[in-house]
Amino acid sequence: MRTLVLALLLFVLPTVAGAQKAQKKWTSIGKTASGNEVFVDARSVKRTGNLVAATVRVVFTPPVQTRMGAMMSSRHLATFDCAKKALAAKENVYYGDAKETKVVDRKVNAIPGYGPALGGTMGALALEHLCAARCRQRFFARMVPRQVADPQ
């Protein structure tokens, strides 16, 4: 009996720990002009030069009614160009339930194109947040004292 319990614990504990580790960590970055909360998954942010790729989530309050059904939230995988102040959406997924398990609509752009981030939208908030973080990194990197070679 003890062997069975020990075997179950050895199997279940790593599974639970792995599931907790895989959970997304959403950081609130503000509200859109229509009052919808916008979040960024901090673990998804990848920087390459002036480009920042990230997963952005929007929770609709109240839910948006469409012919496909009610949409309660959405997730967007996008790349933000900080130099040009533009974004390219790679994937958009709209969910019909609070737990984000019922997909109402999903669109994947084979060749995403860059466009402007309109004021008050999810794109504008994410661009401002992600590119401001980039500027802060550069600013503080300049403040670190540099070692100067001894002229002797």
- The tokens for 39 are 């979040």
Residues in the chain predicted with pLDDT less than 70, given as ranges, are: 1-23, 133-152
**pLDDT of the residue at 11:** 56
pTM score:
0.72
CATH 2.40.128.710 fits 24-142, yes or no: yes
Handedness of CA 146, 147, 149, 150 (dihedral sign): positive
**pLDDT of the residue at 99:** 92
Residues 6 or more apart whose CB falls under 8 angstroms from that of 137 comprise none
Residue 131 CA to residue 72 CA, distance in Å, equals 27
**pLDDT of the residue at 23:** 61
Residues 6 or more apart whose CB falls under 8 angstroms from that of 111 comprise none
